[in-house]
Amino acid sequence: MRRFLAILVYLGMIIFLISISTCKSQETKGYERHLPSADQKTERFELRFSPKWYPQAQFAGIYMAIEKGIYDQYGLDVSLKDPLSGEVALSLLESGQIDIANFDLSQAVMTNCDSTRIVNIGQISQKNSVLLVGKRSRGISSISDFNNKKLGIWRRTSHIVTEAFIKKNGLNVQMIPIDWSVQVFIQDAVDVINVMRFNEYYQLLQAGFREEDLFIVDLSDYGLEIPNEGFYVTPQFFQEHPEECRAFLQATIDGWLYAFSHQEETIDLVLKIMHDANIRANRAHQNWMLDNMKEIVMPSVAEIGILKRKDFEKTVEICHKYSNLKREISFEEFYPYAAK
């Protein structure tokens, strides 16, 4: 009898341990526990999204939302289209070839200078990450030293805020259009260069520059606290699909929260995506980017994904003053969720 009871106790312990193991396995899967069945997937709403730049940790929240099935849970089938310039993305939005695109806030405001062509459905960036960097070895140790120097400035997207800084400070610089490479700065083809704190600035550090070798201007410290990219659709698309737009934003936020709490897994995926796209990458750089993106996307949980009225009004003010914006644009017109 005792042996029989001992066997029952032993079997009970085994069953208990197996149940704990199963629970832990489910916890690590996270969002996978709620993935829809194959039949449910046929009912998902298709959304085509184009990021503003090539694959990197800047878009990690979107990658993880796809990888972990988070968009599925919100009833969405999200596909990523090739990164596009703002001009091309706008034409494809308006022609219905893509549904959602990335634009910088300043670029979006100027896109609506004549009429409301796009509306904001989520402000994923809450900070301005644009820096101007010069070499002290080339005699640059103050803003006035920018005068008569060559400035490497992006030919698209985030250049509006830099141009505002140049005009605001009455600087006489020769603007040299560049894309993404910092080689023109490293090889002294330009004296000052536009960089993002989360991206090209780290490339300069990796190239051997020390922070004390550089004169760094954070545009946010000079009255240009304009957040970078948000998600945009046409007004017609929003009117027809407001709940799908909201679902896209919420699922993307969930993707970012997953990315921030599973950094190594996220970097593994980012590096794989970059490798598949034949883009050179290293883990240290992408880790730096993801760390910085946490401060950009989520300075506080309450702010994540929201376009704040003060940021919009500041952007409109700067565009009126330095980018020849003539039309008045209301917050509710630009950000339809504001009315709700």
pLDDT category at 42 given cuts 50, 70, 90 is low
What pLDDT is stored for residue 157 in this prediction?
A: 64
Which residues, at least 6 apart from 119, have a Cβ–Cβ distance to it below 8 Å? 232, 233, 234, 235, 238, 333, 334, 335, 336
CB of 104 closer than 8 Å to CB of 157: yes
In terms of C-beta density within 10 A (0-12 exposed, 13-18 middle, 19 or more buried), how is residue 15 classed? Answer: exposed
**What residue spans in the chain does CATH classification 3.40.190.10 cover?**
40-127+227-339, 130-222
CB of 123 closer than 8 Å to CB of 73: no
Nearest CA-CA partner of 81 in 101, 64, 61? 101
Q: What does pLDDT average to over the chain?
A: 87
What pLDDT is stored for residue 18 in this prediction?
A: 38
Res. 11: pLDDT tops 60: no
| Best CATH choice for the domain 40-127+227-339 from the list 3.60.21.10, 1.10.10.10, 3.40.190.10, 3.40.50.300 | 3.40.190.10
Which superfamily is assigned to 130-222 in CATH? Periplasmic binding protein-like II (3.40.190.10)
Per the listing, tokens 């304009």 go with 226
Per the listing, tokens 């004549």 go with 114
Percent of the chain clearing pLDDT 70 (strictly above): 86
- Identify which has the larger pLDDT, 13 or 225: 225
What pLDDT is stored for residue 83 in this prediction?
A: 79
